[in-house]
Amino acid sequence: AQSVTQLGSHVSVSEGALVLLRCNYSSSVPPYLFWYVQYPNQGLQLLLKYTTGATLVKGINGFEAEFKKSETSFHLTKPSAHMSDAAEYFCAVSELPSDMRFGAGTRLTVKP
Amino acid sequence: DAGVIQSPRHEVTEMGQEVTLRCKPISGHDYLFWYRQTMMRGLELLIYFNNNVPIDDSGMPEDRFSAKMPNASFSTLKIQPSEPRDSAVYFCASSLRAVYNEQFFGPGTRLTVL
């Protein structure tokens, strides 16, 4: 069965610095991969997704992620952090419409 | 589309009381999921429906939990009787099989059982 591991439950960066949130997955078939963001007291919102085709995926708010099959990774990056990026980020993998597995989440803190 | 709608947004109840959480999925979506989120256990899938039929309820913690989907536009999650350890945020999500399994989440219901 597929699974997701997010490395680092907490990440802290300075405003303007690079954001890198790590995600590794395991899957027996080519998976669909997702990053969701959760702001305080809100539901999960899709940031970006990889389905097929181009391995570098661009999402909302300047985030992007690269699917690396050889490394089974789908790390999330943003060149320059904003204060508004402070939130919890979840990586997820799905082989079937009914089966999405979420990582434990990474809480991003942005320091002024 | 208004997105996934959940009600109430907040619920405070006393131990032993019945609690009913409600969800309206996005129109046309054929999958509906109920999740529970806590600090200790993260995001847990409780149950999901496909075309209004419950498919997998293995995540439902106890018999005190039940879920129904009487039609394509409405689902409920009921806890009877409620206990303090049920305190959590409950999310409903829906998806359309043809759209790469992407799930759309509601805003959640924050349940506090005293």
| pLDDT value of residue A47 | 96
Q: CB neighbours of B98 closer than 8 A, spacing ≥ 6?
A: none
Contact A112, A83 (CB under 8 A): yes
- Closest-CA residue of B relative to A93 is B101
Which amino acid, residue B1?
Answer: D
Q: CB neighbours of B22 closer than 8 A, spacing ≥ 6?
A: B6, B7, B8, B74, B75, B76
Is residue A96 predicted with pLDDT exceeding 80?
Answer: no
Return the structure tokens found at B60.
């439902």
Segment A28-46 mean pLDDT = 90
User: Does the CB of A53 have a partner CB in chain B at under 8 Å?
Assistant: no
User: Does the CB of B25 have a partner CB in chain A at under 8 Å?
Assistant: no
Is residue B97 predicted with pLDDT exceeding 80?
Answer: no
Contacting residues of A for B100, CB less than 8 Å apart: 32, 49, 51
How many Å separate Cα A32 from the centre of its chain? 12
* Percent of chain B with pLDDT strictly greater than 90: 82
For A42-94, the pLDDT digits (tens) are: 899 999 999 888 899 999 999 999 999 999 999 999 999 999 999 999 999 98
Lowest-confidence range among A18-22, A49-53, A103-107, B7-11?
Answer: A49-53
User: Does the CB of A98 have a partner CB in chain B at under 8 Å?
Assistant: yes
User: What's the whole-number average pLDDT of chain A?
Assistant: 93
Contacting residues of A for B101, CB less than 8 Å apart: 32, 94, 96-97, 100
| pLDDT value of residue B62 | 86
Least Cα separation, residue A29 to chain B (angstroms): 14
For A57-69, the pLDDT digits (tens) are: 999 999 999 999 9
Q: Which of A56, A22, A52, A49 is nearest to A35 (CA)?
A: A49
| pLDDT value of residue A2 | 80
Contacting residues of B for A96, CB less than 8 Å apart: 101
CA dihedral B37, A62, A59, B9 (to 10 degrees): 30
Contacting residues of A for B55, CB less than 8 Å apart: 98
| pLDDT value of residue B99 | 64
User: Could you tell me the pLDDT band of residue B1, with boundaries at 50, 70 and 90?
Assistant: low
Contact A48, A25 (CB under 8 A): no
